[in-house]
Structure formats: C-alpha cells, structure tokens
C-alpha cells in the first residue's frame, strides 16, 4: 500500500507540529521502553543483582534506537503480546541482556511509565506555546487598550468597552489554562516499579524479601527516569484519574479556544476585527469576494473534538475494575495522543491568529455612532436639567424621539437620526453646543484602559517574565491548509 492508499490521521498528516507528532510516534514510544528497561537493569545491578553484567547494559544502551519493526511485528503476531514482542526484539540486538531485560517487571512497567513520560513531555511542548499566545495577545491588548468599541451582552448592543479590554477577557482565560497546564504537568508522577498488581511481589522474590532494597529500587528507577516521585500505591496500572486530570485541563483549554475563535468570527461578521488573510488566499470557490474566517473555524472544529475526548477519560477511569481491566488500552492509544495533538494544533492556530489580527477602527466607529445616541440619552437629560430643565419633561421628550429614531432604523433601514432630532427640538437648544462632548466615545468606556494596564502589570507581566527564556526561543510555526 502507498501512503495515499490508506487512512492517515489528519492530526499528524495535516496539522500537528513535528515535535508533538514525534512525541507520540512509535520511535519515541519504543525507545522510551528500552530506556526504561535500561534504568531497571542499572538499578537492579546497583542493588546487587549479579546476573546483570556491564556488557548487557552497554549493549542495551547502544541499541536504544535500533528497533527492527519487522522482527517486532512478527513476534507480536506469534505471541499476541506487544511488550513481550519488544522484549524479544531488544534481546536480538543486545544478546548479553536477553535474559535480564524486563526482570521482575510487568508490562505496565513500560507501557504506563512511558505514557506518563509522554504526557509530561507533551505538556512541556504546549506550555511554552500557550505562553507565546499570551504574549502575542497581550501585545494586541496594549495596542488597542484605548480604542472604544461597542460592547455586547446577549449579542445585543450594550455599553462601550475597548478592543484591548475585550482582549483581556480572552487573555484571562488563557492564563487560567496556563496555570492548569503547569499544575497538571507538575502533578504527574512516575508509576514506578510496582509489579503485576502493584504489590511488588516479584521483587520480594528477586531481592530475597529485602523491603529496603525494593523501596530503593523504586526510588532509583524513578530518579533515573526523570521524576522526583512515584505514585505511592498502584494497581497493575497507575490510577486512570491521572489521565482524567490531564485531559480535563486540555478540554478546558478547548473551551477557551472555542470561545475566543467564536468571538472573532462574530466580530468578522460585523467587519470590526478579522483574522489574518493572505494575499493569494481564496475565501470561497464560488464567491470570490469572501474572506471566510477559516482559521477561527478550524479552531472551533478542533476544539469541539478536544472537548469531546474528555468523555473517554471519564468513562475509562470509571470502569477500571479492582486492580485493572484491559478495556482501557485501545481507548487510551487514541484519546491521549489525540488530545495533545489537537491542543498543539489549536495553539499554533491561535498564535497565528493573534499575531495577525486586523482591526478596522472606522467600522468600529460607525457602529458606535449607530448606537451611542441611545446610550447618551441619560447624559442629555442630566445636561438639560443642569441648564434649568425639568427632569420628567426631558425624559418624555427624549423617550418620544428615541422611539421614533429606533423605528426608522428597524422598520425603514435608515440611519439613527436621534441627534438630528435633538438638534431640531426647541427644548434642547440650551445644550446643543455640548452634544459633541456628550457623545465622545472615550467618556463611555469607564476604566477599561486602566483595567488593561493593571491587568498587564499584575497578571500578565509576571507570566511573561517567568517564561522569558521559552518566549525568546519561540518560533511561529507555519499553519497548514
């Protein structure tokens, strides 16, 4: 079969970064298995297992990446056991170690521990990318902190805010996600060396019931594998609530990404803000004028998948009978890598979007002018009262004119002419010269600019300082079609 004659996941074939695709590749998986077998052998030898020779360890170290997949596939077909197939395959290229590879261990020693390594390393990939997204969006928020824009509640016109303040709402959720990513990453422990049902019974035999040596073995292999701690108790597997915890964090980010991309899609419809659109990009095969928000649409599409994967983790964690059942394996082969691959893709898309957001101030100003006269009516009333008017009379005059102006906008499709009506109304002549100042959009945005400044100083800047090195090494990945 050719590469084009069988299904390939779009996540790896079309979207994901090389580093994330490699993290969940067979080369990475089975080289981690071999490193884990080396770590186990080194620790067992150090603790007195004389059957393990220096030659055996050197042969294993020399062949970490020398994986004969044809031998492994043939052996797995014969034995129907993937771990034992790779024990055999490793032993073929490291014959001095053939008799001691996997000594005392169960399959989950390599499968579970390698998956914990994969998840930890995958979080190390996405955390700097999320920090980069925060940096790009924070630059945008600062740039537009003073630009008034119409706020919406229920997607109906509300009081004004600023473009930068709205971006801070997105930023805050991304900061929540960064906190969650970091916590999940730091919470991941090693399964350790726990044996078939987590009791370490096989190691009791291997070390002649020496409890201290068994505890030392667990601690030493944990350290050799790059972890400070292992889970204190396990069954045959580590608790699948660990997967649930990690995928919950990723799914939560999916909700954030979906919300941000949806907001930008709505703003694109309003012709206020758009995602980047390349010079030769085609928006529609039929409608040549279109500028469809395809990046944001892809974020929403993939984020839905990311959020849906959380259901797999919930259900898997809930049905792990007693010390374990194998109905988790096939599901987790799909759900865990796909959750990280999808997160990786969404972050790349968001970074591309944030760095190229296009703002249309004139379009924003026009929409403000359509709605601001209604919002300013209270200001008109107060100014007229200060000029000697009666509050109730003012209110009634404004109410009648506002209703008629609104009817003209809705029923006849005309522009909002409330200001012209006020200017022609004899009752409001004493404040005509104040109308421009009373309609200045900057007086309707409250403390939005100051909120942006405070948010940057107190919330965003400490994060950017914490990830300064990662940000300095960051590069913008190309967005695939």
Regarding predicted confidence, which is higher, 42 or 79? Answer: 42
| DSSP letter string, 157-190 | EEEEEEHHHHHHHHHHHHHHHHHHHHHHHHH--B
Report CA torsion sign: 304, 307, 311, 316: positive
| DSSP letter string, 319-362 | T--TT--GGGHHHHHHHHHHHHHHHHHHHHHHHHHHHT-EE-HH
Q: How far apart are CA 206 and CA 468, in angstroms?
A: 48
Tens digits of residue pLDDT in 97-134? 999 999 999 999 999 999 999 999 999 999 999 999 99
Contacts of 214 (CB under 8 A, 6+ apart): 193, 200, 203, 204, 207
Q: Catalytic residue among 154, 285, 472, 475, which?
A: 154
Q: How far apart are CA 306 and CA 252, in angstroms?
A: 9
Tens digits of residue pLDDT in 39-67? 999 999 999 998 999 999 999 999 999 99
Q: Catalytic residue among 284, 311, 318, 442, which?
A: 284
**Side-chain-side CA neighbours of residue 452 (13 Å):** 25
| Structural domains in the chain, sorted by start | 13-97 (1.10.275.10), 107-144+159-359+456-472 (1.20.200.10), 377-438 (1.10.40)
Q: Provide the pLDDT for residue 372.
A: 87
**Side-chain-side CA neighbours of residue 97 (13 Å):** 30
The two most distant CA atoms of the chain are separated, in Å, by 106
Contacts of 231 (CB under 8 A, 6+ apart): 189, 190, 191, 192, 238, 239
Instruction: Mark whether 154 is an active-site residue.
Output: yes
- Beta-ladder partners of 148: 162
Tens digits of residue pLDDT in 140-197? 999 999 999 999 999 998 899 999 999 999 999 999 999 999 999 999 999 999 989 9
Q: How far is CA 89 from CA 92, 109, 435, in A?
A: 5, 17, 84
Closest CA to 222 of 43, 34, 29: 43
- Residues 338-356 have a mean pLDDT of 96
Predicted TM-score (pTM) of the model is: 0.89
Q: How far apart are CA 196 and CA 222, in angstroms?
A: 17
């Amino acid at each position: 079969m050719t590469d084009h004659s069988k299904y390939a996941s779009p996540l790896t074939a079309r979207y994901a970064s090389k580093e994330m695709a490699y993290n969940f590749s067979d080369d990475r998986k089975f080289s981690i298995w071999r490193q884990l077998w080396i770590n186990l052998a080194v620790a067992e030898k150090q603790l007195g297992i004389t059957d393990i020779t220096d030659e055996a360890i050197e042969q294993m170290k020399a062949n970490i990446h020398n994986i004969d997949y044809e031998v492994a596939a043939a052996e797995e077909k014969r034995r129907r056991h993937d771990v034992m197939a790779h024990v055999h395959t490793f032993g073929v290229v490291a014959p001095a170690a053939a008799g001691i590879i996997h000594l005392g261990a169960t399959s989950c020693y390599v499968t579970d521990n390698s998956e914990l390594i994969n998840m930890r390393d995958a979080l190390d990939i996405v955390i700097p990318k999320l920090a980069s997204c925060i940096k790009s969006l924070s630059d945008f928020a600062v740039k537009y902190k003073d630009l008034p824009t119409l706020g919406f509640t229920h997607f109906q016109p509300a009081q004004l805010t600023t473009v930068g303040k709205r971006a801070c709402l997105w930023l805050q959720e991304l900061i929540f996600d960064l906190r969650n990513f970091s916590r999940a990453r730091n919470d991941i422990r090693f399964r350790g060396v726990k044996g078939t049902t987590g009791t370490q019974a096989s190691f009791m035999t291997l070390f002649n019931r020496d409890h201290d040596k068994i505890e030392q073995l667990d601690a030493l292999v944990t350290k050799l594998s790059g972890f400070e701690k292992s889970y204190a108790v396990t069954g045959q597997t580590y608790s699948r609530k660990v997967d649930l915890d990690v995928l919950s964090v990723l799914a939560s980010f999916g909700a954030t990404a979906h919300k941000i991309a949806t907001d930008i899609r709505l703003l694109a419809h309003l012709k206020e803000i758009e995602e980047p659109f390349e010079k030769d990009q085609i928006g529609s095969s039929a409608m040549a004028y279109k500028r469809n928000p395809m990046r944001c649409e892809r974020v929403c599409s993939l984020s839905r998948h990311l959020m849906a994967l959380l259901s797999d983790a919930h259900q898997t964690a809930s049905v792990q009978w007693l010390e374990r059942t194998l109905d988790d394996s096939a599901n987790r082969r799909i759900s865990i890598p796909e959750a990280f691959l999808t997160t990786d893709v969404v972050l790349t898309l968001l970074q591309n979007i944030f760095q190229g957001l296009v703002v249309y101030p004139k379009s924003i100003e026009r929409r403000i002018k359509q709605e601001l006269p209604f919002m300013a009516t209270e200001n008109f009333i107060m100014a007229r009262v200060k000029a000697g008017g009666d509050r109730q009379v003012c209110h009634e005059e404004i109410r009648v004119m506002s209703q008629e102006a609104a009817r003209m906008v809705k029923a006849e499709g005309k522009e909002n002419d409330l200001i012209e009506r006020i200017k022609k109304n004899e009752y409001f002549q004493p404040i005509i010269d104040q109308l421009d100042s009373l309609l200045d959009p900057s007086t309707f945005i409250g403390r939005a600019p100051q909120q942006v400044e405070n948010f940057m100083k107190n919330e965003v800047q400490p994060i950017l300082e914490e990830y300064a090195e990662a940000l300095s090494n960051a590069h913008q990945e190309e967005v695939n079609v």
